[in-house]
């Protein structure tokens, strides 16, 4: 089977397509049949953007507190930590990856065990970055962000949990399409350095933006004084409504740079994040514009001066 039509690529392409279609339906105000429209709105919105839409009682049954966001990152830290551990054992002690993992990778790529005999430096780096990202987000959810009583749909919750499982497997899938080129030290290249620097910068941008959102709910001593959604100002919020979503996209682009920009699979992941975060940013942007009369007109939703 050609690499490009591997199951893993089809999954990420379809996920990106779903969010692209959802983005277009929302952006161009295309209405679905009545009942379907209600379900659609319930599934694309969460948190503050869900507050003001009319929902039937049966829809409220599927609500889960948005404070559970940290579950996603806790699962990711454990799962992607385990995968990183397997990879380190493979590289340092020459231990083969477990059979169940090889079987899962075979299902996703159609490639045999030999494709994971030698792990590429880019894969190890991506695994480390993904783990660091998950840990930082876990700590931010627990100790930085201040959550209100917003909710997410149970489908979004299940999706969020599955997402980080699939993401970890996807990183390993990429190994089968990278050229093997000697020892790990010999593989070190400029794209690893540039990708890591971009990753650090984007992570700092995301952390700073999330801290600014949290600060809008506390007084100078750090005590929570409101759970209201205020108008964000300062920093990258002057350019876009959701700099933390932009930073998320840049984090995934940085990881693509780390594999030399050569992995179609990872670019499909980037495409998915682009569509997913563009939709979330547009919903948030429209929420701010309808709520705050003085909302700056030049401010974009997601990408400065563009979108």
Ligand X SMILES: NC(=O)c1ccc[n+]([C@@H]2O[C@H](COP(=O)([O-])OP(=O)(O)OC[C@H]3O[C@@H](n4cnc5c(N)ncnc54)[C@H](OP(=O)(O)O)[C@@H]3O)[C@@H](O)[C@H]2O)c1
Residues in contact with ligand X by the rule CB under 6 A: 47-48, 66, 69, 145-148, 150, 206, 210, 213, 216-217, 229-230, 232, 244-245, 248, 273, 276-277, 280
Nearer to ligand X, 167 or 173 (CB): 167
Q: Alpha helix (H) ranges present in the chain?
A: 7-27, 34-44, 57-60, 69-92, 99-109, 121-143, 154-174, 184-187, 190-215, 243-258, 264-291
CA neighbor of 218 nearest in space, from 150, 149, 142, 146: 146
Nearer to ligand X, 152 or 257 (CB): 152
- Rounded Cα distance, 226 and 212, in Å: 14
Shortest approach of ligand X to residue 248 CB, angstroms?
Answer: 3
Nearer to ligand X, 116 or 157 (CB): 157
Rounded to the nearest 5 degrees, what angle is found at the Cα of 93, between the Cα atoms of 176 and 108? Answer: 25
In whole angstroms, how far apart are CA 147 and each of 40, 105, 128?
24, 37, 28
DSSP string, 280-307: HHHHHHHHHHHH-TT--TT-BSSSTTT-
Shortest approach of ligand X to residue 157 CB, angstroms?
Answer: 12
CA neighbor of 117 nearest in space, from 93, 100, 97, 101: 97
Shortest approach of ligand X to residue 303 CB, angstroms?
Answer: 14
Nearer to ligand X, 83 or 274 (CB): 274
Shortest approach of ligand X to residue 35 CB, angstroms?
Answer: 26
Shortest approach of ligand X to residue 75 CB, angstroms?
Answer: 14
Write down the residue that tokens 């940085």 correspond to.
254
Nearer to ligand X, 116 or 288 (CB): 288
In whole angstroms, how far apart are CA 50 and each of 41, 44, 112?
8, 9, 45
Shortest approach of ligand X to residue 136 CB, angstroms?
Answer: 10
Nearer to ligand X, 89 or 161 (CB): 161
């Amino acid at each position: 089977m050609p690499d490009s039509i591997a199951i893993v690529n089809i999954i990420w392409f379809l996920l990106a397509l779903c969010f692209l279609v959802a983005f277009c339906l929302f952006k161009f105000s295309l209405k679905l049949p009545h009942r379907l429209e209600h379900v659609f709105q319930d599934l694309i919105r969460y948190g503050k953007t869900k507050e003001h839409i009319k929902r039937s009682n049966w829809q409220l049954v599927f609500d889960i507190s948005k404070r559970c966001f940290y579950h996603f990152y806790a699962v990711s830290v454990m799962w992607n930590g385990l995968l990183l551990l397997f990879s380190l054992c493979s590289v340092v002690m020459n231990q083969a990856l477990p059979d169940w993992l090889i079987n899962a990778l075979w299902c996703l790529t159609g490639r045999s065990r030999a494709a994971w005999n030698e792990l590429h430096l880019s894969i190890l780096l991506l695994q480390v970055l993904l783990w660091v990202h998950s840990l930082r987000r876990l700590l931010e959810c627990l100790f930085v962000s201040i959550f209100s009583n917003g909710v997410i749909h149970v489908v979004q919750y299940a999706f969020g949990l599955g997402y980080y499982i699939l993401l970890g497997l996807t990183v390993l899938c990429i190994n089968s399409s990278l050229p093997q080129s000697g020892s790990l030290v010999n593989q070190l290249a400029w794209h690893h350095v540039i990708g890591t620097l971009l990753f650090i910068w984007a992570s700092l941008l995301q952390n700073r933006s999330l801290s600014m959102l949290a600060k809008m709910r506390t007084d100078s001593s750090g005590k929570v004084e409101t759970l209201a959604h205020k108008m964000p100002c300062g920093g990258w919020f002057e350019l876009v409504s959701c700099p933390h979503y932009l930073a998320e996209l840049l984090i995934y682009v940085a990881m693509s740079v780390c594999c030399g920009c050569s992995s179609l699979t990872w670019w499909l992941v980037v495409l998915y994040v682009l569509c997913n975060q563009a939709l979330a940013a547009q919903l948030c942007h429209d929420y701010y514009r309808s709520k705050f009369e003085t909302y700056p007109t030049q401010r974009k939703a997601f990408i400065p001066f563009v979108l």
